[in-house]
Structure 1
């Protein structure tokens, strides 16, 4: 089983990052305060909920609701900043993408860790890790009326797959689990940021190459 303190710390980072991205997307979409809270909460717990339902081990936030409170607190901060200090642009595209990249990295690795701890095969653990990483963002984008990042734009799901595979490989090599987790998180985050920075995309059928 993973070390509880380190695991909880990593989970907190991911929750705040995804809640921030969800709240920022809601602000960009012109939603009211309730919409901001809803998108922040769903983005932060959506992927983990799907994973827990697939594993059949009970939904984590139902048993321990502290992730909900983290999402609510994060959305409150975004609401406050956007209302009283709009010059800080909490809804800027850069904030959304970087926060989403952080959440993607953390939750992909967390999901893979939990799947392995549940005793599933390593290839299934990779799949569940990716679902954990991208699930909340997909729900967020659908509710905001935009095409999910996982389906368009810069390389997204592939970075989650790379991070999950790396963690599984490092864990199989009996590397210290905390070191394996943080290494996989760092690689996933860096790959996603590089994809954003250099506009790495997958080929699209019928699409003309860019000049």
Structure 2
């Protein structure tokens, strides 16, 4: 793979990431509710799922997964239900000037936030098909497969991580400047983002990005 090919790949990924997906909306929600530093666990969960999906694509499992329409549907809709439940719970529990509510939110563990990010990304098993279709466009048959595959994977993860951090940092900065009733609506908006992420996940197709 030449440097020029890699630059084209970067431009392609940038175009694919130009609009927020379920993981980006979840990052917005968790950063607004729990702060950017804690929400980094959500980003780590998303990227961990992406790594497994890329590995599955590289090992040739995409065709097997794509052939199981029932499994795809079950996993996807379980993820949709999970996100809707999280979003609805956040909206219902949002209270202005309630220290107990804030304490409960701050007690959310990094593991729980990581799991939210992982499930949201893993609930889109068609991502394996996406990576299996994207990577061959930029891999040269004249060079070793795995070094090229690792470069493409690492590049995607770095770019996705940067986008997640940008979304999360912005949400955290905005949320920190609102208090009282405004803080209440920020928390409700975060729950709305989760539900919106569920809707986007439900609309995902094989050709969609992760």
TM-score, normalised to structure 2, is 0.37
Larger radius of gyration: 2
Greater RCO (Cα-Cα under 8 Å, separation 6 or more):
2
TM-score, normalised to structure 1, is 0.37
